Structure 1
Amino acid sequence: MDRRQLFGFFLLLLFISACGNEEANVETVDATNNGEQKVITLGHVTADDHILHLAVEKFKEEVEERSDGSMTVDIYPQQQLGGEADMMDQLRNGTLDMGALTIAELTARSEAFNAWYMPYLLGGLDATEEMRQTEEADEILHSLDDHEGVHPLSYYVIENRHVFSVDEPVTTMEDFRNLQVRIPPGTAIDDFYQRLGATPSPVEQQEVYTSLQTGVLEAADVDVDAVLANRYHEVGDHVAMTGHHDWVIGVLYSQPLWDQLTEEQQTIVEESIEIAAQYSHEISGELQDEYIERAQEEGVEIHEFEDMDEITEIAEEMHEDYATDNELIENFIEKAREIENH
């Protein structure tokens, strides 16, 4: 073999070697990408000992177990990422993966969510959990417009809502007259309290404690868990067990980030959400009595509401009015009545 042939053979060996290395490198990169850990960021507004936080911790546990650790969930409670409107913006632009947001925030995007605020429509947590799983509830969840940029996943059922008051208990219809009561902004619950003769005030969540303390507010629409978690018991003494509706949370994923997940990852998220939703219902029922006992230990007096016939009559009139105005709410109310009657 002369020099030119030898040199050509040497170049051929180099070329083959380079191609082999390139293929190996591609395989290595692909393997690295496939093994890359997915971190899901999730924000909500409640304290880290609230039932909602316990539910999202259950979601985190399920995701990480089902993915064998290839997916992790970082939770940001207590408005660490801003208020709910801020988190909706972050979901839309893809800077936040998930949000567990109150129905109050979602009502600002679709009035159909007011269905969950119909007082005395569902007779407790079990009925509300059954309603959560219906087609009618799902249609409302997916009534969020496409431009919202979110992928609706499910609901969490949290706890019964009651009336917390500072100085005097609210046990009769007369006690509602001109009562300055904090309500979630922009919801049908505002209409409900007005029909009761109260003066509802949509104070932001972070301002409620100070407003109760200074007398700007006399009362607040709350669950007993929130009385403890937000330390309202330091500034007020009474909870009237009105149980007018259950507190429900909407769980959303950022649409642009959802589209980046593999089908397997999407399935893991969906299955984990459902397990966490069932868990939320289970612990809500178990913990409500415990929260009442703890509130009493902190000096809060628990009262029964006396005028139930009158308040439920007002609620039923409200159901009819809202059903007339919105077909999704009408369907929701009809399904709720079916659940209550079976």
Structure 2
Amino acid sequence: MKHFTRILATATLVAASAFAVHADEFRLGLITPPPHIWTKAAEAFGAELSEKSGGAHSVGVFPSRQLGNEAEMLQQLQTGALDMAFMTVAEVSNRATDLGSFYAPYLANDIAHAGRILRSDTAAALLEPLPAQVGVVGLGYGMAGLRQIVSRGDVSSSADLAGKKLRITPFTPILDFYNALGAAPTPMPLPAVYDALANGQVDAIDMDAELIWVLKYYEHADTIIQSDHMMFPMVGLVSAKVWAGLSDDDRAMIGELMAKHVDSTIDSYIEKEAGWLEQIEGTGKTYTKVDASFFGDAIDQWNTIWSEKAASLEKLRAVAAETE
């Protein structure tokens, strides 16, 4: 692929002066639990890499924040202390602002449309500056499902979320969105969310359907709002310092296989998302489907903020229009 060739060239140039790294077993970190689609994709990547390399390379997968939270893992990638990660684009966008454009509210019409946007050449081009900007090589996108809202108490309008502590992933685009809505966005790691919702430490959470269902967040909620308001991409990363120590053949093999397995998560979510939402709707909780009008002028406020922050926003909007 053209964009992959450009990524290889850019990453090699940036890392050319780095020390050589030789590893028989790479370490790959994630924040997701073992049953999660991302974790399973990472394990499948490791298995295929071992097979295709004739056992020369293997991958140890460390889920559930075993190697730290995403900010800590990204720092480890930058220094070469960690080899690889499947990481939310959210965390990377804290250092590469253009990636924040993916979180434009209602950029994608549905889960399949989100997949088409992520598979575009425009999206791929946003990975090219990462070696120079962040010290990592981005090899391809995956994703989780679209974002929904789970709340204690009744929510019939966005006004009911005003002032409420609402759990978010800690990154600027979603912080800006919920601040515009008048909620009190509260960053919190995944392992803490279930108990926090149960004991009222937070009033609501922003979450995808898979985790709402699999981790049973609905158990301590009164209202589920299917809003589909934001996509949630993932990116497969390799430390630029580690990348510099690989042969051209190994770079090509690892790049191809990682891109393949992160991309496979897109198909998994397209296939499974509707089923999870149907199961959540069947739990007996108040289940409401809303559209962009639910959020009032918060979306316009977000667009105003991010049209100044990210030059990539209009490019992704053009892709979204072309791929509807």
Maintained 8 Å contact 1:237/1:300: no
Question: Is the Cα–Cα contact under 8 Å of residues 150 and 254 in structure 1 kept in the other structure?
Answer: yes
Residue of structure 2 in register with 1:78 after alignment: 64
Equivalent residues in 2 for 1:298-317, closer than 5 Å: 299=283, 301=285, 303-306=287-290, 308-311=292-295, 314-316=298-300
TM-score, normalised relative to structure 2: 0.84
Residue 127 of structure 2: aligned partner: 141
1:266 aligns with 2:280: no
Q: Select 1:332's aligned residue among 308, 316, 321.
A: 316
- Distance change (3 Å), C-alpha of 1:306 and 1:161: closer
1:142, CA displacement in angstroms? 3.1
Task: Kindly state the Cα deviation for residue 296 of structure 1 after the two structures are TM-superposed.
Answer: 5.5
| SS, match of residue 32 in structure 2 | coil
Deviations 1:173-218 (A, max 9, x none): 3322222211111321122222223221223333323322221211
Q: Secondary structure at the match of 1:64?
A: helix
Gaps of 5+ in 1: 1-35
Matched, 1:186 2:186: no
Deviates most, 230-239 or 261-270: 230-239
Shift of 1:325: 3.4
1:57 to 25, 35, 43: 43
After TM superposition, the structure 1 = structure 2 runs for residues 12-161 of structure 1, keeping only pairs within 5 Å, are 38-144=24-130, 146=132, 148-161=134-147
Q: Cα–Cα, structure 1 residues 203 and 80, in superposed 2: closer, same or farther, change >3 Å? A: same
Larger helix percent = 1
**Shift of residue 219 of structure 1?**
0.5
Partner SS, residue 265 of structure 1: helix
Taking a change above 3 Å as real, the CA distance of residues 322 and 275 of structure 1, as seen in their structure-2 partners, is: same
2:290 and 2:23 map into 1 onto residues whose CA distance is: 56
Work out which of the residue numbers 240, 243, 263 in structure 2 matches 1:255. Answer: 240
Question: Which residue in 1 is equivalent to 2:268?
Answer: 283
- Residue 80 of structure 1 deviates from its aligned partner by 0.7
Change (3 A) 1:335 1:308: closer
Distance in 1 between the 2:281 and 2:115 partners? 27
Shift of 1:247: 1.5
* Code of the aligned partner of 2:76: Q
In structure 1, the partner of 2:157 is: 172
Q: Distance in 2 between matches of 1:302 and 1:66?
A: 49
Deviations 1:107-144 (A, max 9, x none): 22122121111110111222222222223222332343
What amino acid sits opposite 2:66 in the alignment? Q
Identity %: 27
* Residue number in structure 2 paired with 1:12: none
Structure 2 counterpart of 1:13: none
Indicate which of 189, 208, 223 corresponds to 2:208: 223
2:303 matched to which residue of 1?
Answer: 319
**Structure 1's 283 and 326: CA in aligned 2 closer, same or farther, altered over 3 A?**
closer
Separation in 2, partners of 1:111, 1:317? 18
Deviation at 1:161, TM superposition (A): 1.0
Q: Which moved more, 1:317-326 or 1:209-218?
A: 317-326
Residues 293 and 147 of structure 1: CA distance in aligned 2, closer, same or farther (over 3 Å): closer
- Alpha-carbon shift at residue 258 of structure 1 (Å): 1.0
- Secondary structure class of the residue paired with 1:277: helix
Q: CA RMSD in A?
A: 2.5
Is this contact kept in 1: 2:142–2:264, CA < 8 A?
Answer: no
TM (normalized to structure 1)?
Answer: 0.80
Query: How far apart, CA to CA, are the structure 2 residues paired with 1:312 and 1:121?
Result: 16
Deviation at 1:291, TM superposition (A): 2.6
* SS of equivalent to 2:163: coil
Change (3 A) 1:249 1:67: same
* Contact preservation (8 Å) 1:163, 1:241: yes
Query: 2: distance between equivalents of 1:306 and 1:266?
Result: 45
Q: Deviations over 1:240-275 (max 9, x none)?
A: 111001221121101111111222211111211232
Give the Cα separation in 2 of the matches to 1:244 and 1:115: 14
Would you say how many aligned residue pairs link Structure 1 and Structure 2?
Answer: 303
